[in-house]
Amino acid sequence: MNSRLLAIVSLVLVMTVWGGSFAVTKAAFDDLPPILLAFLRFAVASAVLLPLAWPRRRAHPIPLRAALVLGLTGVGLYYICFNLGLVYTTVTQAVLIQSAIPALTAGLAFFVLAERLSARAVCGIALSFAGVAVVLVVNPADARAPHPLLGNALIVGSAVLWSLYTIYAKRLAQADTMVLTAWTAAAGTAFLAPAALVEYALGARPTFTASGGLSVLYLGVISSAAAYLLYNRALRSLGASQVAAFLNLMPIVGVATAVVFLRERVVPAAIVGGLLVLAGVWLASGKARDPGVAPDS
């Protein structure tokens, strides 16, 4: 299998894993509090990645400040907002909101990095934001979404954090991906540890079950460690605009798994909002736009 075909197969697999991770995370809340789940997930991911990165650390050093910033924005704060958001809203609404991350990243890069935006990109960003607004408004409460407006706001916060993470990570584009991913996961785990202790002190208690353990292993080994590495490797063979096309798989898988496994009800207006988001992402991505994809979330 040539490198291009391998990259395509890898991206299909990664987007399928990340799309399904929304439902796995939501289901795991039956056994584990959200912040503890995030901590355990990245503790497992770090245990997998650090032994692989350790022999490469001297040849490919990563500045401590960079690891801390990426670990805080892309893991610590990101998964606190993301997991808490999923407690209060549905997987369907969360995955549709996060689908706007590429357009959001492009918009923030204009202000933070002074990157130029074409008229097409501006229209795409506006269209994606309109789609997110529709999803935010369509928020029926039910057993799986007790406070959907709060949950959706937290998911929007996680999307902003991932966009900031992506913008900062652009400065380290030439860094060794194995070392950078491992250091980021380890720093994020360190940030999540005190947050998990606060969560425990506030009364959240885990129930350690076989299903909860399998969820942690899936999220840590498959969705975090393996998927990150496959994604980074695929970027070597495909351009950013080509990678962006595969983003459309993630919301499709995310919504499908939520409907099949969690029996979530998809509101027609949410589908309209999701289509607006995806259309905006397509317009905003352009030929040279970095997609800024999120891990699953």
The two structure tokens encoding residue 138: 């369509």
Which residue did the predictor score with more confidence, 121 or 24?
24
DSSP string of 207-269, one letter each residue: ---HHHHHHHHIIIIIIIIIHHHHHHHHTTTS-HHHHHHGGGHHHHHHHHHHHHHS-PPPPHH
Range name among 165-169, 193-197, 208-212 with the lowest pLDDT average: 165-169
Read off the pLDDT band of 251 (50, 70, 90). Answer: confident
At 198 the pLDDT is 97
Nearest residue to 44 via CA among 176, 215, 282 = 215
DSSP string of 83-152, one letter each residue: HHHHHHS-HHHHHHHHTTHHHHHHHHHHHHS-----HHHHHHHHHHHHHHHHHHH----BTTBSSHHHHH
At 245 the pLDDT is 62
Range name among 45-49, 105-109, 251-255 with the lowest pLDDT average: 105-109
Read off the pLDDT band of 271 (50, 70, 90). Answer: confident
* 209 CB-side CA count, 13 A: 13
- Mean pLDDT of all residues in 124-139: 82
Of the chain, the percentage scoring pLDDT greater than 90 comes to 40
The answer to whether residue 231 scores a pLDDT higher than 50 is yes
| Local structure of residue 14 (DSSP, 8 states) | H
Gap between the Cα atoms of 293 and 272, Å rounded? 22
Q: What is the pLDDT of residues 34-77, one digit of tens each?
A: 999 999 999 999 999 999 999 998 888 888 899 999 999 999 99
Which residue did the predictor score with more confidence, 68 or 3?
68
Which residue did the predictor score with more confidence, 165 or 285?
165
Backbone angles phi, psi at 145, to 5 degrees: -140, 75
Read off the pLDDT band of 285 (50, 70, 90). Answer: low
